[in-house]
Chain A
Amino acid sequence: MTSPTRTTPIRTADGVLRRVVPARHPWRTVFSIVIVLFALLAVGVLITNPNFEWSVVAKYVLAPQIVSGVGLAIMLTVVAMVLGTALGTVVAIMRISANPVIAAAAWVYVWFFRGTPLLVQLVFWYNLAILFPKFSLGSLTLDANELITPIVASILGLTLNQGAYMAEIVRAGIVSVDPGQVEAAKALGMRGSKVMRRIVLPQALRVIIPPAGNETITMLKSTSLVSVVAVADLMYQVNVISAQTFQTIPILIVATLWYLAITSVMSVGQAWLERHFSARPTARNSGLRRMVRGTATPRDAEAPAAATAAVEIVTEEAREGGDGR
């Protein structure tokens, strides 16, 4: 409470030395009290209401079916995000093509897969065998039901849907890069593909990563939809267990806790990536590297030092003023 800026007296124009006091915010205090009361109430309900059945939650949270469901959800998220991002990058580059046919094809893809529900797409891929019972590739003929297993249908559905969203995100990243960067690269004799790979995409990452992080979190939750096509993900296991035990609420709490835990870890990863690929490339030193090495760049160190110096000067002057009186 004795921070120098708050207690430093200021000499006003009438020659009086006055103490600086921050503005008061009574409504903030009232509102804070209301929030705390509601929070206490919520905690109370969680503890006292026996229908939450916390013992059942504890029993199932590390149950083998649940853990395997979690594993599958994470696997689907990683695979669909990796494939979806690769697909989205290709589509984004197609959309900015000078050739109108290529650009239009990319537009139609995004239009279709972004404009229809993921659930519908998943069920469609699952039932592809109705449309095409057999796939022939030369002399090789495959039965659609063998080729499009529930897992394959899920990956197809999630990837194609994600590709459409990532295409828009990557395109926004590409157009955010100063056209002067492309001109400079071309003037040095770089070809288009190399300009994209070496110059444009690395700089586009700064714009791509925040929404891509959100997409990853959304994807984890979207994997719960694959339970409708009989893939044994977390939500599928939850449905199976609650159908057997009728302990619907505690089992749903188990799923909630797992989804929250994973998205929390993802948020931390996203925050780190954002710092790593920030507009100022030296920020690389302020992320993991600084945590590991314990080193700060001179720039980081200068600012606080200057701020402290300024405060000291103010206090010095105030003291002198006080003595002179």
Chain B
Amino acid sequence: MSVITASAEVELRGVHKSFGHTAVLSGIDLTIKPQEVVCVIGPSGSGKSTMLRCINHLEQIDAGEIRIDGELIGYRAVGDRLQGLSESDIAAQRVAIGMVFQRFNLFAHKTALGNVMEAPVQVLGRDRAQVRAEAIELLERVGLSGRIDHYPHQLSGGQQQRVAIARALAMKPRVMLFDEPTSALDPELVGEVLEVMKELAASGMTMIVVTHEIAFAKEVADIVVFMDGGVIVEQGPPEAVLVHPQHERTRAFLRRVL
């Protein structure tokens, strides 16, 4: 898709995160180069979704740092401290980071078109007519030109998720985060969403995809990351991680899901 204007590099270094006394991320190091597609797999509770949510600061990290194109996310280095950014500064950083949720989270009171137009108009303050034209084009690209005036409850799960992707793309993000985008879908609707994601990957978007779709990871990912117990157990090209895994934990997981 030609909507991509720039593609970002994402860096996580020594990222730790706990909920209360439960450590969820215990030192994550990961570098994603521009235009790379990274698929994150692993058992539930392994911290993959939390890692994704830390990247756009929906969760605050306890230690380490996350950078997008070198810019620290959520904090500003002031002398020897990391100063938490104000709400509006964090909001401004999130503009560059698109996110697609497991449960779609389309705005229930707005049509498909309204969902896609909301942020460019309200956050970027862009001209309505121009945003509308782009939104219609985006919805067309995800195969929903006939559904632009439908409300979320009138759309299937697969259609809702495609609207959600269009909604994220409307902000012209430099990186896209997908949090188990097909896990809430009926099996026959998974394909249409993966198809849109494949096109997006082919167009050069930097993508981080938390997924259970091993076949998708094998086909589309540049790097597959296997997480377990809050750490990255192994990472590498799909062939290496999915076909010739080095660690027993990876092998055990793949035996269960394949």
Residues of A within 8 A of B (CB): 178, 180-181, 183-192, 194, 198-199, 202-203, 279-282, 299
Kindly state whether residue B106 has any CB partner on chain A within 8 Å. Answer: yes
Kindly state whether residue B122 has any CB partner on chain A within 8 Å. Answer: yes
Shortest C-beta distance, B125 to chain A (Å), equals: 11
Shortest C-beta distance, B53 to chain A (Å), equals: 9
What are 15 sample pairs from A and B whose C-beta atoms fall under 8 A apart?
A178-B105, A187-B56, A187-B58, A187-B94, A187-B168, A188-B94, A188-B123, A189-B91, A189-B92, A190-B122, A194-B122, A194-B123, A203-B108, A279-B153, A280-B153
List, in ascending order, chain A residues with CB within 8 A of B151's CB.
280-282
Please determine whether A189 and B154 come into contact, CB atoms closer than 8 angstroms: no
List, in ascending order, chain A residues with CB within 8 A of B87's CB.
191-192
Q: Beyond A189-B171, A203-B109, is A184–B88 a contact (Cβ under 8 Å)? A: no
Bound CA span A281–B87, Å: 31
List, in ascending order, chain B residues with CB within 8 A of A194's CB.
122-123
Find the B residue at minimum CB distance from A205: B109
Kindly state whether residue B138 has any CB partner on chain A within 8 Å. Answer: no
Q: Beyond A188-B118, A281-B108, is A183–B101 a contact (Cβ under 8 Å)? A: yes
List, in ascending order, chain B residues with CB within 8 A of A198's CB.
118, 122
Kindly state whether residue B95 has any CB partner on chain A within 8 Å. Answer: yes
Bound CA span A152–B153, Å: 47
Please determine whether A190 and B108 come into contact, CB atoms closer than 8 angstroms: no
Kindly state whether residue B41 has any CB partner on chain A within 8 Å. Answer: no
Q: Beyond A183-B58, A198-B118, is A188–B171 a contact (Cβ under 8 Å)? A: yes
Please determine whether B101 and A184 come into contact, CB atoms closer than 8 angstroms: yes
Q: Which residues between 96 and 111 of chain B lie within 8 Å of chain A, taking CB atoms?
A: 97-99, 101, 103, 105-109
Kindly state whether residue B30 has any CB partner on chain A within 8 Å. Answer: no
Kindly state whether residue B48 has any CB partner on chain A within 8 Å. Answer: no
Bound CA span A181–B103, Å: 10
Bound CA span A187–B118, Å: 12
Kindly state whether residue B167 has any CB partner on chain A within 8 Å. Answer: yes
Please determine whether B168 and A188 come into contact, CB atoms closer than 8 angstroms: yes
Bound CA span A38–B107, Å: 53
A183 is contacted by which of B88, B95, B105 (Cβ under 8 Å)?
Answer: B105
Kindly state whether residue B189 has any CB partner on chain A within 8 Å. Answer: no
Kindly state whether residue B119 has any CB partner on chain A within 8 Å. Answer: yes
List, in ascending order, chain B residues with CB within 8 A of A202's CB.
109
Bound CA span A282–B151, Å: 8
Bound CA span A241–B94, Å: 67
Q: Which residues between 159 and 179 of chain B lie within 8 Å of chain A, taking CB atoms?
A: 164, 167-168, 171
List, in ascending order, chain B residues with CB within 8 A of A188's CB.
94-95, 118-119, 123, 167-168, 171
B91 is contacted by which of A183, A186, A203, A279 (Cβ under 8 Å)?
Answer: A186
Please determine whether B123 and A189 come into contact, CB atoms closer than 8 angstroms: yes
Bound CA span A184–B153, Å: 17
Can you add 9 more A-B contacts, CB < 8 Å, to A191-B87, A198-B118?
Answer: A178-B108, A180-B101, A183-B101, A185-B107, A189-B91, A189-B123, A194-B122, A279-B153, A281-B108
List, in ascending order, chain B residues with CB within 8 A of A299's CB.
154
Find the A residue at minimum CB distance from B107: A199
Interface string of B11-26 (1 = CB under 8 A from A): 0000000000000000
B109 is contacted by which of A183, A190, A192, A281 (Cβ under 8 Å)?
Answer: A281
List, in ascending order, chain A residues with CB within 8 A of B153's CB.
279-281
Find the B residue at minimum CB distance from A299: B154
Please determine whether B103 and A190 come into contact, CB atoms closer than 8 angstroms: no
Find the A residue at minimum CB distance from B106: A184
**Most chain A beta-carbon contacts within 10 A, residue among B56, B122, B171:** B122
